[in-house]
Homo-oligomer: A and B are copies of this chain.
Amino acid sequence: MLLSGTVVVDAGTTIEEGAVVTAGDSIVAVGDRPDLLEQYPDHERREYDLLLPGLVGGHVHSVQSLGRGVADDTALLTWLFDYVLPMEAEMDADVMHTAAKLGYLECLESGTTTVIDHLSVHHADAAFDAAIDVGIRGRLGKVLMDKDSPSGLQQETQTALDETEALIREYHDVNDGRIQYAVTPRFAVSCTEACLRGCRDLADAYDGVRIHTHASENRDEITAVETETGMRNIHWLDEVGLTGDDVVLAHCVWTDEAERELLAESGTHVCHCPSSNMKLASGIAPVVDYLERGINVALGNDGPPCNNTLDAFTEMRQASLLQKVETLDPTTTAAETVFEMATRNGAEAAGFERLGELREGWNADIVGLTTDVTRATPVNDVFSHLVYAAHGDDVELTMVDGEVLYDGGEHVGIDAAAVRERAREYATELNATPKT
């Protein structure tokens, strides 16, 4: 396929009147449109205002989509223990499949082609199947919880690890490599030392498997870990093997100097979730400091109950605006910086090597965007447009590995209206059940 438009090659490089040519799962050429039209006369042609690399959701809970709006404006512990976790515990395989699918469709509609996805304790296979059904790229994992967790979610340590291993064998590196596995302990508070160490062992035992967990999101969380272990949370995670360049830590709002050094030295990836941190009143992550230290910071929407959207454009805007007001410096965290967080940094965190930029030989994960919308007219600067004015609704094309998944408002081969309808029915049932 030959896609024409202003091409956003990476965070800082654009080609006006450019084009991207795809063949199979890859990009075979990126350059000036007239040249490529001549070189590839027989390719199917499409035109868009802007072409950009598919966005990467660095920390997502697709399966929480049915809980959108159930517990807004409540305190974090109420939100988590009275609503979100009991809801997850109640979901059967069909519900889980629908919830994940709804989340993935939302991602694809709004330009996110890759997710690092924190599933749930049970029925993770149903979510993996949903990801394969819709064709999204992702690093997914079943959640491990073996202590201080709600009934219905807490498992024996060995059971949690065994189920994880079985899922790695079934779902790691499948669907032509689009689906990769992340061992996903929920967080230090709800996992024993044996569990956390077992997670590291599993990641080491299987080539290409990574680790994804929450860390230092909340002050109560770091206090609980310190009380129990005598260590700051990041140091505790390091002690049990959960730092390194194969680890993605979501949030990292509350870290001290030594923890930040440790994150930088170990090459641990951080996923910043600004809307979630604001809405749950967790705090403001020191993103500018992390970036200055060379820490790889990705961007994530977190889950629909705490955001309440999976639109990565909204999150890019939020990341920039939040750091500006926090530092009282309007020049910080510029548009190009947050665009890089949502693309290449996310790809690095997710462990996809040929992803996050539009380059020859890289994966053909491409988004086509219209700019002919009143609310984003005129486009005086492409990166300003993408970060401050564009919205997921502007997406006209979403392609993963050269396969068109979303095209002119319709999902290819999937009846999204039926998924929404099923999601509404399941949500009504779930929310009809008292949670506490």
- Report which A residues bind B (CB closer than 8 A): 65-70, 72-76, 79, 102, 105-106, 109-110, 275, 277-284, 304, 307-311, 314, 318, 320-322, 324-325, 327-332, 334-335, 372, 374-381, 384-385, 387-389, 391-393, 416-417, 419-420, 423-424, 427-428, 431
Contacts and interface: CB of A to CB of B under 8 A. Distances in A.
Contacts of A424: 377-379
A332 B372 CA distance: 37
A330 B79 contact: yes
25 contacts: A68-B377, A69-B380, A69-B381, A70-B381, A72-B335, A72-B381, A73-B320, A73-B384, A79-B330, A106-B375, A110-B375, A278-B322, A278-B324, A281-B327, A281-B330, A281-B332, A283-B328, A310-B375, A374-B416, A377-B423, A377-B424, A378-B428, A380-B431, A391-B393, A393-B393
A329 B335 CA distance: 29
A277 B325 contact: yes
Contacts of A304: 389
Given A279-B330, A375-B392, 14 more contacts: A70-B381, A72-B388, A73-B334, A74-B331, A102-B374, A102-B377, A277-B325, A281-B329, A281-B330, A308-B376, A308-B388, A309-B375, A311-B375, A378-B427
Nearest to A388: B308
Contact of A330 (B69, B280, B375, B420): B280
Contacts of A307: 388
Nearest to A322: B278
Nearest to A375: B106
A309 to B, nearest CB: 5
A284 B377 contact: no
Contact of A427 (B74, B308, B380, B387): B380
A105 to B, nearest CB: 5
Given A378-B423, A391-B391, A69 B385 contact: yes
Contacts of A279: 320-321, 324-325, 330, 388
B69 A389 contact: yes
Contacts of A332: 281
Given A109-B374, A321-B275, A391-B391, A379 B69 contact: yes
A383 to B, nearest CB: 8
Of A109, A281, A304, A419, most B-chain CB atoms within 10 Å: A281
